[in-house]
Amino acid sequence: MLKRLSFLCASLLVLAACSNNNDSANTAPQPTPASTAAPAAQPSAASTASAPAAAASTAPATPAPASSSQQAAAPTPAPAAPATPFVDNGKWVEGKHYVRLEPAQSKVSNTDKIEVVEVFSYGCPACNQFHPTMNKLAQELPANAVVAYLPASFMPQENWPMLQRAFLTAQALGVADQANDAMYDAVWKTQELTAMKGAGLKPVSALPTLEDASKVYAKFGANPQEFLAVANSFAINTKVKRSDDLLKAYGVEETPTIVVDGKYRLTPRSAGGNEQAVELTKWLVSKEAAGN
């Protein structure tokens, strides 16, 4: 069943999202942590992904920040779009186009702005397809809203746990944003990080590793040795666990999924398409800003 699900998930031509409907996927082994690291739990979550941004963690230790040269390489944010007043004309229906999370859940980041989270995986074909749309959404958000990213791990047979850990490590080292496009390309274009082999999947022993991912991030200033050490640290184990806990708390069932301020959940599928997902997300941001 897992392999059949994987093959379905891997086809961009027939699927708009990958669903997580087999809890056994969450019990697959994670990358081996250092001897002092606490093991990372893998609660159930969801499937299909996009770009990175700063997402806060409750980790007790914080890896070394990026150098000033790495920080300088970060793209300059585009000017925020003007806020629009909230108008409910009946177009978007709770329970149909979006779900209200009750009770409201924690945010991914520590922002005091309205948070728009994309749940994603670099290994998710639908997230790869949604990636340009997510970039558009980020550019169209008003100044009172901010984007954050939550990596999913629920497809271990497609190497999502490794990609999740790699993203969280790159984020801690300050290179996740710069390498975002390159990571998608490494999975779907050059295929140096792909889990696919022809029409099937590679055996577990042949799946790309954190060392392979570190080579992609090295192009953006990350030291491969430091990357691997941080990836297997207690801090990243804690971030992995928190990511999986948030996915469960948000009730994520597929990727890409968008969560607005820990209160509303939607997908391109529920919204009626990628462009509709952008429109609905901006509407929910204005709804939250209006206190509705």
Question: The domain that contains 141 carries what CATH number?
Answer: 3.40.30.10
In a domain, 86, yes or no: no
How many domains is the chain partitioned into structurally?
A: 1
Residue 146 has a pLDDT of 96
In a domain, 75, yes or no: no
In a domain, 78, yes or no: no
pLDDT in tens, 67-99: 433 333 444 455 667 777 899 999 999 999 999
In a domain, 80, yes or no: no
Query: Are the C-beta atoms of residues 261 and 107 closer than 8 Å to each other?
Result: yes
pTM of the model: 0.76
In a domain, 34, yes or no: no
Q: Which of 118, 152, 149 is nearest to 240 (CA)?
A: 152
Residue 22 has a pLDDT of 46
Residue 57 has a pLDDT of 39
In a domain, 64, yes or no: no
- Domain containing 51 equals 2-27+39-57+93-289
Residue 84 has a pLDDT of 78
Q: Which of 281, 276, 25, 274 is nearest to 152 (CA)?
A: 25
Residue 94 has a pLDDT of 98
In a domain, 230, yes or no: yes
Query: Are the C-beta atoms of residues 255 and 265 closer than 8 Å to each other?
Result: no
pLDDT in tens, 85-139: 899 999 999 999 999 999 999 999 999 999 999 999 999 999 999 999 999 999 9
In a domain, 208, yes or no: yes
The list of the chain residues with pLDDT below 50 reads: 1-15, 22-76
